[in-house]
Amino acid sequence: MLEEVKNDIVTALGLDDDNDLLDHLVEGSSRYIKDLKLNLKTALNVENMSAKEAHLTGLAIAVNNKSPKLVKYFKVKSQELEASEEEIAEAIACASLLSANNIFYRFRHYVGSEKYDSIPARIRMNIMAKPVLGKEFFELISLAVSAANGCEMCVKSHEQSVRNLGTGEKRIFDAIRIASVVTSVDKLLV
């Protein structure tokens, strides 16, 4: 039974069948593998985001987590859901930009120095001015990546930004759930 669940995950994500950690879960009779399958399904079939948005968010998180297997899956799936090459590129770029911002602003937040706060960041962020994905969705992905990276200052800033753009809590929560579930799946794909 657990072998079937593992095979369902492997098939759904287009993975090869050779995965030591998923095999460990099966061999150890871990019921978590069932949870993993359900969590993945629930995270990607959300009510407050389109399937394309959910998969582009997953792509940004997979890029952020440096997970080539999940990057491949989310890129292909996003293309199947009619994401343009520009939208895919922007989700990828968003993960990179936010990684830089998260480190920079997390440092400022941790240190709490007025001197550091007064020095210009000098990190180019032109992509944020007119995102291909639209301002609201770009900010939503930025929020998800910032949450995955643990930058409190960035999470608060992007959450406020998407709320100011009219985004409700359920849509925000869906994006955060995607980030957390994609990260949890990534931990098992070595």
Q: What are the pLDDT digits (tens) for 75-102?
A: 999 999 999 999 999 999 999 999 999 9
For the chain, give every domain's residue range: 1-45, 49-186
Does residue 52 contact residue 78 with C-beta atoms inside 8 Å?
yes
Cα 48 to Cα 115: distance, rounded to the nearest angstrom: 41
Backbone angles phi, psi at 132, to 5 degrees: -60, -35
94 noted as active-site residue: no
Question: Which pLDDT band, with edges at 50, 70 and 90, does 18 fall under?
Answer: confident
Type of residue numbered 33: I
pTM of the model: 0.94
pLDDT tens string 138-180: 999 999 999 999 999 999 999 999 999 999 999 999 999 999 9
Query: Cβ(91)–Cβ(56) under 8 Å?
Result: yes
Name the active-site residue from 151, 162, 176, 189.
151
Kindly report, residue by residue over 155-165, the tens digit of the pLDDT. 999 999 999 99
Nearest partner of 55 among 68, 33, 36, 72, judged by Cα: 72
- Give the Cα separation of 178 and 108 in Å (integer): 27
What gap in Å lies between CA 128 and CA 146, rounded to an integer? 15
Annotated catalytic residue, options 154, 162, 181, 182: 154
Top CATH class of 49-186 equals mainly alpha
Query: What is the distance between the alpha carbons of residues 62 and 1, in angstroms, rounded to a whole number?
Result: 28
